[in-house]
Amino acid sequence: MNTEDREQSIRNLIAQMTLEEKVSQLTYTSPAIPHLGIPEYNWWNECLHGVARAGLATVFPQAIALAAIFDEGFIQEIARAISDEARAKYNEAVKQGNRGQYWGLTFWTPNINIFRDPRWGRGQETYGEDPCLTSRIGLAFMQGLQGNDPDRLKTAACAKHFAVHSGPENQRHTFDAQVSKKDLFETYLPAFKMLVEQGVESVMGAYNRTLGEPCCGSTYLLKEILREKWQFKGHVVSDCWAIRDFHENHKVTASPEESAALALNNGCDLNCGCTFPYLTASYKKGLVTEDAINTALTRLLRTRFKLGMFDKPETDPYGSLGREVINSEKHRKLALEAARKSIVLLKNDNHILPLDSKPKKILLVGPGAANPHTLLGNYYGIGPRLVTILEGLAEKTRGKYGINLEYRHGCLQYEGNHPSNIQFGAANDAEVVIAVFGLDGAMEGEEGDAIASDFNGDREYIELPPWQFAYLQQLKTSGKRIILILTGGSPVAVPEDIADAILFAWYPGEQGGAAVADILFGDAAPSGKLPITFPASTGQLPPYEDYTMQGRTYRYMKEKPLYPFGFGLSYTAFRFDYLIPSHKEISSGEELKLQVQVSNLGNRDADAVIQIYVSKDDRGEDDPIVSLRDFRRASVPAGGSIMAEFTLSASIFESVNAAGEQELIPGSYTIYAADAAPLPVAAERGASKPVSAKIVVK
Q: pLDDT per residue over 356-365, tens digit each?
A: 877 889 999 9
The CB-side HSE value for 439 (13 A sphere, CA atoms) comes to 31
The reported pLDDT for the residue numbered 691 is 98
Predicted confidence (pLDDT) at residue 481 exceeds the cutoff of 60: yes
Please tell me which residue, 390 or 410, carries the higher pLDDT value.
390
Predicted confidence (pLDDT) at residue 66 exceeds the cutoff of 90: yes
The reported pLDDT for the residue numbered 635 is 97
Mean pLDDT for 160-187 is 97
Q: Which amino acid is at 683?
A: A
The reported pLDDT for the residue numbered 346 is 98
**Is the separation of the CB atoms in 504 and 685 below 8 Å?**
no
Q: How far apart are CA 621 and CA 630, in angstroms?
A: 24
Helix (H, G, I), strand (E, B) or coil at 35: helix
The reported pLDDT for the residue numbered 587 is 95
Any idea how long the chain is? 698
pLDDT tens across 72-95, in order? 999 999 999 999 999 999 999 999
The reported pLDDT for the residue numbered 422 is 60
pTM for this predicted structure: 0.97
Mean pLDDT for 653-680 is 96
Predicted confidence (pLDDT) at residue 2 exceeds the cutoff of 80: yes
Mean pLDDT for 196-224 is 98
The yes-or-no answer to whether 3-43+75-310 and 329-556 have a common fold is no
- Of residues 627, 605, 512, 474, the one with CA closest to residue 131: 627
Q: Which residues pair with 338 in a beta bridge?
A: none
In order, the DSSP letters of 45-111 are BB-BTB-BSSSB---PPPHHHHHTT--HHHHHHHHHHHHHHHHHHHHHHHHTT---TTSSSBB---B
Q: Which pLDDT band, with edges at 50, 70 and 90, does 259 fall under? A: very high
Q: Which pLDDT band, with edges at 50, 70 and 90, does 420 fall under? A: low
In order, the DSSP letters of 613-662 are EEEETT--TTS-S-EEEEEEEEEE-TT-EEEEEEEEEGGGG-EE-TTS-E
Helix (H, G, I), strand (E, B) or coil at 204: strand
Q: Which amino acid is at 130?
A: D
What does the buried/exposed string (b/e) look like for 223-248 if buried means 16 or more CB atoms within 10 Å of the residue's CB?
eebbbeebebebbbbbbbebbbbbbe
pLDDT tens across 118-145, in order? 999 999 999 999 999 999 999 999 999 9
Q: Which CATH class is domain 3-43+75-310?
A: alpha beta
Start-end of H helices in 109-250: 131-146, 181-183, 190-197, 244-248
Q: Which pLDDT band, with edges at 50, 70 and 90, does 176 fall under? A: very high
Please count the other Cβ atoms lying within 10 Å of the Cβ belonging to residue 400. Answer: 14
Q: Is the dihedral of CA 107, 110, 115, 116 positive or negative?
A: negative
The reported pLDDT for the residue numbered 437 is 97
Predicted confidence (pLDDT) at residue 339 exceeds the cutoff of 70: yes
Average pLDDT, the chain: 96
Q: Which pLDDT band, with edges at 50, 70 and 90, does 47 fall under? A: very high
In order, the DSSP letters of 469-538 are HHHHHHHHTT--EEEEEEE-SS--B--GGG-SEEEEEES--TTHHHHHHHHHTTSS------SS-B-S-G
Please tell me which residue, 633 or 398, carries the higher pLDDT value.
633
Mean pLDDT for 631-642 is 98
pLDDT tens across 484-527, in order? 999 999 999 999 999 999 999 999 999 999 999 999 999 999 99
Predicted confidence (pLDDT) at residue 425 exceeds the cutoff of 70: no
Mean pLDDT for 206-227 is 98
Q: How far apart are CA 202 and CA 112, in angstroms?
A: 13
The reported pLDDT for the residue numbered 88 is 98
Helices (H) and strands (E) in the chain, counts: 18, 24
Predicted confidence (pLDDT) at residue 355 exceeds the cutoff of 90: yes
Predicted confidence (pLDDT) at residue 416 exceeds the cutoff of 90: no
The reported pLDDT for the residue numbered 418 is 67
Q: How far apart are CA 303 and CA 301, in angstroms?
A: 5
The reported pLDDT for the residue numbered 621 is 87
CATH 2.60.40.10 fits 574-697, yes or no: yes
Domain boundaries, the chain: 3-43+75-310, 329-556, 574-697
Q: Which pLDDT band, with edges at 50, 70 and 90, does 426 fall under? A: low
Predicted confidence (pLDDT) at residue 311 exceeds the cutoff of 70: yes
| Residues with catalytic function | 239, 444
- Right CATH for 329-556 from 1.20.272.10, 3.40.50.300, 3.40.50.1700, 3.20.20.70: 3.40.50.1700
Predicted confidence (pLDDT) at residue 41 exceeds the cutoff of 70: yes
